[in-house]
Amino acid sequence: MQKPLLIIGNKNYSSWSLRAWLLLKAFNVDFDEQPIELFHPSATPILNEHAPTGKVPVLVYGEGDEKVTVWDTLAIAMHINEYLTDINLWTGISKSDTNAQTDNQDRINSAYCQSIIAEMHSGFMSIRNEMPMNIRATAKIQPSTACLADIARIETIFAECLKDRPEDSFLFGAFTAADVFFAPVVLRLQTYADASNITLQPLTKQYCQTLVNHPHIQAWQKSALQETRIIEEDEAGEILSLVGVLAN
């Protein structure tokens, strides 16, 4: 099989690109990445060729009639689970572990994992609008009531998943697609929470630290901090400080 190509946007800003990239990395899929500049004419040829919605991420592989195109992050997650990895994305457990297929706790976890992924994919609009991912920045916003309600819902999800788990645990113990889908939220909290006096539960802070320390998320952040382009559409609040190349 030809190595898949993942087309992604600017790493500082593109939260959906981060999710698709992290899914491929975390579930051991060998791939090449093709960065594009969001909202920039230079991206038009590659988007016209591969992206039916004009958005990223898009995963493509194969040629001519054999070409596979997967757009939209939820579809990319499902496609990876079905065709590209030996690990079940919803439990983090090897597909060859036959016990995992029959264990009722795995079924419960899988259902919960898929549900919160779908909830993230279709909801949390206030967080998305008011707290755009901006990895390099610390910024102060005035969160709306709806935004605070989104954060409260996220803290409830984290608390339910992490109850009775050891420190440094992922949401279901093993790393799953749910950790991937919530990774950009954690990076948003890193940018805005303290600066905006948003109080987080100790368990939320602990989980944020666990995800921020994850080697693949560290690698994405490191690349994001090398970027210099400022995209006004994706900036929010009063920037208090910057890290990375733009800070110098």
Ligand X SMILES: N[C@@H](CCC(=O)N[C@@H](CS)C(=O)NCC(=O)O)C(=O)O
Site membership for ligand X, residue 187 (CB under 6 A): no
Q: Could you say whether residue 72 binds ligand X (CB under 6 A)?
A: yes
d(CA 84, CA 81): 6
Q: Which is nearer to ligand X, 57 or 92 (CB)?
A: 57
Residues 22-51 that bind ligand X (CB under 6 A): 38
Beta strands in 99-223 (DSSP E): 137-140
Q: Please report, for residues 7, 29, 85, 100, the alpha-carbon distance to residue 26 in angstroms, rounded to integers and kept in the order given.
A: 17, 8, 10, 19
User: Which is nearer to ligand X, 52 or 62 (by Cβ)?
Assistant: 52
**Of residues 59 and 147, the one with the C-beta less far from ligand X:** 59
Q: d(Cα 147, Cα 124) in Å, to the nearest integer?
A: 8
* For ligand X, the closer CB: 16 or 61: 16
What are the DSSP E strand ranges found in 132-237? 137-140
Measured distance CA(10)–CA(178) in Å, rounded = 22
Q: Residue from 6, 12, 16, 182 that binds ligand X (CB under 6 A)?
A: 16
Find the part of the chain contacting ligand X (CB under 6 A) among 72-80, 104-112, 205-213, 216-224: 72-80
Q: Point out which span in 25-33, 70-78, 86-94, 221-229 binds ligand X (CB under 6 A).
A: 70-78
Interaction between residue 119 and ligand X (CB under 6 A)? no
**Which of 73, 176, 196, 210 lies at the binding interface for ligand X (CB under 6 A)?**
73
Beta strands in the chain (DSSP E): 5-8, 32-35, 58-61, 68-71, 137-140, 238-242
Cβ atoms within 10 Å of 238's Cβ, excluding its own: 12
Q: Residues in the site for ligand X, rule: CB under 6 A?
A: 9, 14-17, 38, 54-57, 72-74
